[in-house]
Amino acid sequence: MRRKLLCIVISMSVGLFSLSFASLSAQAGARDFFKCKLNEGVKKEAMEKLAADFMAVISKEGMKGHKMELLWPFYSQDISRGTFFWTTSAPSVAKAAALEEFWGNSDANKDVRERFGKMASCDSGSVYEVSDIK
């Protein structure tokens, strides 16, 4: 009986530890980076307007906690003119995944997605879990 009780306590402890760890992981922020290039004749300001339109769409859809940045290099040895990084931040990995799904499949975002396809192309993308160091 004592051994059985000990097994139950250990199993519950491992289970609680796993749940605690999983909830910490789920709370970690996430950021994606897409290396893109403006199409010929497209101006930086037009892409900034498109990004603002995308943020307005996700706000209207009630998707909270997202932030967006466009990174425009001043100097880089390994990229050409017109290259930029489209990056979004999310409060969790799950919300980052939901935003990716929304971008690619939502009718609410269809206009922005189609405009983006006419303005730029991306040749790589990465999603990162963020460790916030203070």
Q: CB count, 10 Å around CB of 33?
A: 17
Domain count, the chain: 1
In a domain, 1, yes or no: no
The whole-angstrom separation of Cα 124 and Cα 111 is: 22
Q: Does the pLDDT at position 130 exceed 80?
A: yes
Q: What pLDDT does residue 27 have?
A: 53
In a domain, 102, yes or no: yes
Which residues on neighbouring strands pair with residue 96, listed in sequence order? none
In a domain, 13, yes or no: no
Percentage of the chain beyond pLDDT 70 is: 79
pLDDT tens sequence across 71-101? 999 888 878 889 999 999 999 888 998 999 9
pLDDT tens sequence across 49-58? 999 999 999 9
Give CB contacts under 8 A, 24+ apart, made by 110-114. Answer: 111/53, 112/50, 112/53, 112/54, 112/57
The whole-angstrom separation of Cα 69 and Cα 85 is: 8
Domain range for 68 is: 28-130
Do residues 80 and 100 touch, judged by C-beta distance below 8 A? Answer: no
Task: Give burial (CB, 10 Å; 0-12/13-18/19+) of 96.
Answer: buried
One DSSP character per residue, 68-97 reads: EEEE--S--SS--TTEEEEEEEESSHHHHH
Q: What distance lies between CA 73 and its chain's CA centroid?
A: 20
In a domain, 9, yes or no: no
In a domain, 73, yes or no: yes
In a domain, 17, yes or no: no
- Residue 39 carries which DSSP code? P
In a domain, 19, yes or no: no
In a domain, 39, yes or no: yes
CATH number of the domain residue 65 falls in: 3.30.70.100
pLDDT tens sequence across 4-31? 333 333 333 333 333 333 444 445 799 9
